[in-house]
Copies of this chain bind each other. A is one copy, B any other.
Amino acid sequence: MTERLNQQIAFLNEADKLKTILRGTTLCDASRAENSAEHSWHLTLYALVLADQAGPEVDINRVIKMLILHDLVEIDAGDNPIFGDYDAADMEAQEQIAADRIFGLLPPDLRDDLRGIWEEFEAAESPSARFAKSLDRFQPPMQNLASGGGSWTDYNVSEAQIEEKVGRKIAIGAPALWAYARARISSFFAGADA
C-alpha cells in the first residue's frame, strides 16, 4: 500500500515539472509565455465549455482525461511550437522514450491505463481523440486573437499558414469551431478583430 502510494506520488511530483515547460503561445494579456501545465488545464475547461461541439460518438470524459495527460511527455521532449521547424518522426521517437520513462514511474496497472489514454490521443483516430486534438489546436488561435497576435507575430505567420497548419486539424474534430476561428482570423489579418 505505501509502496504503491510512493510510486503514485513520485509520478505526481515528476509531473510537476510540466509547470516549467514554456510554450510559443502567451497568456491572453501577452504578459508572459504560457506553460504546458496551465495550458492543459485551460484545455480541460475548453472541453467542458465546448462539449456541445463534440459529435455523438465523442466521450467527453475520455476527452478530458486525454487533455490532462496529453503534454506530459514534454517534460523530457520539450514543446514543439506549431509554426516552428522540427522533424516529426524524430519528435515522435523522443516522445515515446519520454512516455516510457514518465508513465513507467507508475504502478503497472496505472501505467498501462494512462499510457493507453495518451496513445489514443496521439493516434488521433477515435472520435474522442480527434475532438481532443481539435481543442488543442483551437486554443492557441483564441489566445493569439486575445493578445493581439502572439505566436503569429513571433513566427511571422500568414493566414494561409494558419489554415494549413492549424485549420485543417481543427476542422477534423470540430468543424464549427474552425468556421468560427477562420472568420475571426480573417478579420484579424484584415485589421478588424480588436
Contact = CB atoms under 8 A, between A and B. Distances in A.
A65 B68 CA distance: 12
Question: Which among A1, A5, A17, A35 has the highest number of chain B CB atoms within 10 Å?
Answer: A5
A34 interface: yes
A68 B45 contact: yes
A16 B143 contact: yes
A38 interface: yes
Contact of A68 (B1, B35, B48, B139): B48
Chain A: interface secondary structure?
helix
B31 A16 contact: no
Given A20-B31, A48-B69, 13 more contacts: A12-B46, A12-B139, A15-B42, A17-B29, A19-B27, A35-B38, A37-B37, A41-B68, A48-B65, A48-B68, A49-B106, A61-B61, A64-B65
Interface of A: 1-2, 5, 8-9, 11-13, 15-20, 27-29, 31, 34-35, 37-38, 40-42, 44-46, 48-50, 61, 64-65, 68-69, 106, 110, 114, 139, 142-143, 146, 176-177, 180, 183
16 contacts: A8-B49, A12-B42, A12-B139, A16-B27, A17-B29, A19-B34, A20-B31, A37-B37, A37-B42, A38-B38, A38-B41, A41-B44, A44-B68, A45-B68, A48-B114, A49-B110
Please name the 6 residue pairs, one residue from A and one from B, whose CB atoms are nearest each other, closest first: A41-B41, A37-B38, A16-B28, A61-B61, A38-B38, A19-B38
